[in-house]
Structure 1
Amino acid sequence: MFNRHKKFLTTLLLLFSIFLFWRAPTTTHAAVKASKLPNRQGILIDLGRHPLTEKSVKSVIQAARDQKLNYVVLHLSDNEHLSFQSTYLGNKAGKKVLSKAALKRLVTFAKKKHIQLVPDVDAPSHTGAILHQLKKKRPKTYKQVKMDSHTLDYTKKQSITVVQKIYGELDTIFKKQSSRDFIIGADEVPGNPEAYKSLTTFINQLNRFQNKRGFTTTIWNDSILKSELPRIDKNIVINYWSQAGNRSDKKTLTNRRTHRVSVKNLVNAKRRVVNANSYATYYQLKHIGNKTNDNYFINYLRNHYKPTMFNEITSKNKNSHRIMQPKVKTRGTLVSLWGHNSSHISTKAIVKFIHRIKIPK
C-alpha cells in the first residue's frame, strides 16, 4: 500500500514538473519569424497627432512604395488622439478614427504595393487618449490603471490586461501579412531604476503575448537601463532614436549616459537595432512647406546620414547625432514624421515631401 501511494505521488510530482516547465516564460520564441525591420527602410506617420482618412493613408503608402521603402508604421494613438476604432475602448469610427474595416482595407492595399504595415500603439507612456477613453467607457478600470494623465501604471497587472485587449483587436487586423511586427513603445516612461524593474516585466509580458499571436515586437531605446537590458527578451527589436531623450542639461546627460543603454551596449548584447536617429531621421509635419527646413532635412538625410550614425551621448556628456557605430550589422532606418500642431498641413503636402525622401542603405 505504501509503495503504491509513493509511486502515485512520484508520478503526480513528475506531471506537475512537466506542467511548470511548459508554463515557464522563455525569451526564445521559435514560432515567430524574425523581424525584417532591422534590415529595411521605413517611414512612420503620426496619426495620433495628425489623423488621416483612409484615402489619405493610402496616398502615404503609395508614396512610400514610389520611394522603394519596405514598410510604413502607423502611429495609431498618442496622448492627443485615438485614431482607430476599438470595441474594448468603445470609441466610434469616423473621419478621424479609422474603422476596423478601413484598417483591413489598408492592409490589403499595402500588400498589393509590397509594403508592410506596422501598427504602433505605445504603452505604458503616450497613452493619454487611451486613458481618456477608458475614463468614459470603463471608469473602474481607468482608476485601477492610471499612473498619470499620459501613463498606464506599469506596476499593475490590470494595465497588462488593458493593453492586451487593445493589441488583440489590432492583431486580428494586421496578422494577414507575411511579416508581422508591432511597435509597443516603452519610450519616455517616468520612474526610477527600481520601478523600471516592473517596466521590464511589463515589456516582456506584452512581447510574449504578441509572440504567441505571431508578431515580433519593437520598443524604443530611451527607457532601457543598462542594468535591465539582460532581463529584456532577446527577440525584441530596438528602435534607437536617442540616448539623451532630447534632454540637454549636463547633469541629466551625465546620468543618462551612466544608466541608459548605448548602441555599443546593444551590439555587445547582440540585439537587433533599427536606426531612428532623432536628428537625422525625425521631422515635424508642421514644418512641411518651409523651404529652408525641408531642404535641410532632405539633403542631410540623403548626403550625410549613414545607417551606422546614431544619436548618443559623448564621453564628455554632450548630446551628439553623429556618433558612428560601425559594428552595427543591421542596416535598417526608420524616418519618423511627427504631427505636433500640424493640422494645417495637407495630405498632398505630406505626400510631396515623402516623394523627396531617399534613405541611404
Structure 2
Amino acid sequence: MLDTARRFYSEREIKKFIDMLAASGGQFLHLHFSDHENYALESALLGQTVETAKRSRSGVYTNPKTGKPFLSRRQMRTIIRYAAAKNIEIVPEVGSPNHMNGIFTLLTHKHGKDYVRALKSKMADDEIDITRPESVAFVKALIDETAETFNRSKHFHIGGDEFGYSAESNHEFIDYANTLAAHLAAKGLKTRMWNDGLINSTVGKLNRDIEITYWSYDGNPADKQAAQTRRAMRASLPELTAKGFSVLNYNSYYLYLVPNGKRDFAHDAGFSAQDIEKRWHLGVWDGENRSNATADTGRIIGAALAVWGENTGKMKNETIRRNTAAPLKAMMRKANAASAATP
C-alpha cells in the first residue's frame, strides 16, 4: 500500500514501485490517494482537472487553488496498464466517513462552504454524514468517477478507519458499508475496507463479500483505557474469519513503514525486514503481540506492506522506494510460505 495523499509520487515513480512489487511476487498495489492532506487524482466532480492545473516540465500537475499535486486520469490509466502487464492489480481507495478533508477542500473551492457543510456530519467536522441520502449519493458519484478511471481493477477500497461511532450508532456504519458494497458489486467490483468500525454486536449484519484489511485491533491510541474499551467492543481478526469474512493482514506494527525525514530510514527499514523475518508470520495480526496469533490462516487471503507519507519531510522518493525493497521481500516470502502450507 502506497500513501500518495500525504506524499506525492509521479507516474514514473509509481511505475518503479510496481517493478519492485512484481519482482517480489506481489499481486496488488493499494493506492491511498485520498486523505485529509490531499486528493491526489484528477476529478471533474471535485473541480480538479488538467485544464485548470499548472504542469511542470516533468509532467506533474498542480492544483493552483490548493497548491497540491495530483495524477491526471491519463497518467493513472497509463500506470494501470503498466501494472496489468506485470500481473499487478491497482486497488484504489476513496476513504470515508473520515479522512475527507482533502475532498472537502476541493468541494469548497468548487461549490462553497454551505454545500460542504450540508454534506458533513453534525458530530465531526472531518467526516461525511453517512445517514444523509445526499451525502451517500455524493460518495457513490465519486466512486463511479474513480472506478471509471481504474477500469481494470477488481477491488475497490472504501476506507472506514478512524471515524467516530458508538455501540448504539454503529449500525448506521454497517448499513453505509453494505450500501457502498452493493453499489460496487453492481459494477463488478469487490469491496475492501479497514476493520475499525467492525464491532461484535453488529458485524454479523455486514455483507460477507466485503474483504477486510485488518490493521489494528484498537487503533493504537495513546490512552490505555481507550485501547481496552475498543478491544472489548471490536471484532478481532480470528473472530472475523470465524464469521466467514476474508481478511488481509495489514499489521500496523510489522507491516507499516512510516519513513521519517529526521531519522535514518535505511536503518529503520533494515530493522523492519529483520523483524518480519524473525517474528512475523501471516497469522500475527495484533501489532507486536504474537501470543494471540491465529494458526488458521485459510481465510487470510493476503497481506500488504503499507508505506505511509505523513512524516517523510524532504526525503527523496528514491530513498523511500529503495529501502522499502527489503521489508517487502521479507513480507512476501513469509506470506507465500504460509499460503503454501495451507491445505
Identify whether the pair has TM-score above 0.5, normalized to the shorter chain.
yes
Higher Rg of the two aligned structures: 1
The whole-number CA distance in structure 1 between the counterparts of 2:292 and 2:95 is 27
One of 133, 136, 143 as aligned partner of 1:157: 133
The whole-number CA distance in structure 2 between the counterparts of 1:233 and 1:138 is 34
Paired residues of 2:97 and 2:130 also in contact (CA < 8 A): yes
Question: Which segment drifts farther, 266-275 or 140-149?
Answer: 140-149
Equivalent residue number for residue 97 of structure 2: 124
Inter-CA distance 171–331: structure 2 relative to 1 (3 Å threshold):
closer
- Structure 1 length-normalised TM: 0.82
Q: Which has the higher contact order (CA 8 A, sep 6+)?
A: 1
Gaps of at least 5 residues in structure 1 are 1-43, 313-318
Inter-CA distance 290–347: structure 2 relative to 1 (3 Å threshold):
closer
Deviation readout 1:291-332 (Å, 9 max, x if unpaired): 4322211111223210001116xxxxxx83653111231251
Matching of residue 175 in structure 1 with residue 151 in structure 2: yes
Equivalent residue number for residue 321 of structure 2: 351
The whole-number CA distance in structure 2 between the counterparts of 1:321 and 1:170 is 38
One of 36, 39, 45 as aligned partner of 1:79: 36
Q: 1:164-313, aligned counterparts within 5 Å? A: 164-177=140-153, 180-286=154-260, 289-311=264-286
Paired residues of 2:130 and 2:136 also in contact (CA < 8 A): yes
The CA deviation at 1:223 is 1.6
SS of aligned partner of 1:280: coil
The CA deviation at 1:342 is 1.3
Matching of residue 338 in structure 1 with residue 308 in structure 2: yes
Deviation readout 1:248-283 (Å, 9 max, x if unpaired): 433222211221111222122011010111101011
Equivalent residue number for residue 67 of structure 1: 24
SS of aligned partner of 1:285: coil
Amino acid at match of 2:145: E
Paired residues of 1:308 and 1:331 also in contact (CA < 8 A): no
Question: Which segment drifts farther, 117-126 or 286-295?
Answer: 286-295
Q: 1:88-167, aligned counterparts within 5 Å? A: 88-93=45-50, 94-95=61-62, 96-139=69-112, 140-147=114-121, 148-167=124-143
Paired residues of 1:64 and 1:354 also in contact (CA < 8 A): no
- Structure 2 length-normalised TM: 0.86
The whole-number CA distance in structure 2 between the counterparts of 1:98 and 1:321 is 40
Amino acid at match of 1:309: V
Paired residues of 2:219 and 2:227 also in contact (CA < 8 A): no
The whole-number CA distance in structure 2 between the counterparts of 1:98 and 1:195 is 37
Inter-CA distance 76–321: structure 2 relative to 1 (3 Å threshold):
farther
CA RMSD in angstroms comes to 1.7
SS of aligned partner of 2:285: strand
SS of aligned partner of 1:73: strand
Amino acid at match of 2:3: D
Gaps of at least 5 residues in structure 2 are 51-60, 63-68, 336-343
Amino acid at match of 1:338: W
The whole-number CA distance in structure 2 between the counterparts of 1:204 and 1:141 is 26
Paired residues of 1:277 and 1:321 also in contact (CA < 8 A): no
The whole-number CA distance in structure 2 between the counterparts of 1:51 and 1:213 is 29
Inter-CA distance 304–331: structure 2 relative to 1 (3 Å threshold):
farther
Paired residues of 1:244 and 1:257 also in contact (CA < 8 A): yes
Number of equivalenced pairs: 310
One of 320, 327, 331 as aligned partner of 2:289: 320
SS of aligned partner of 1:242: coil
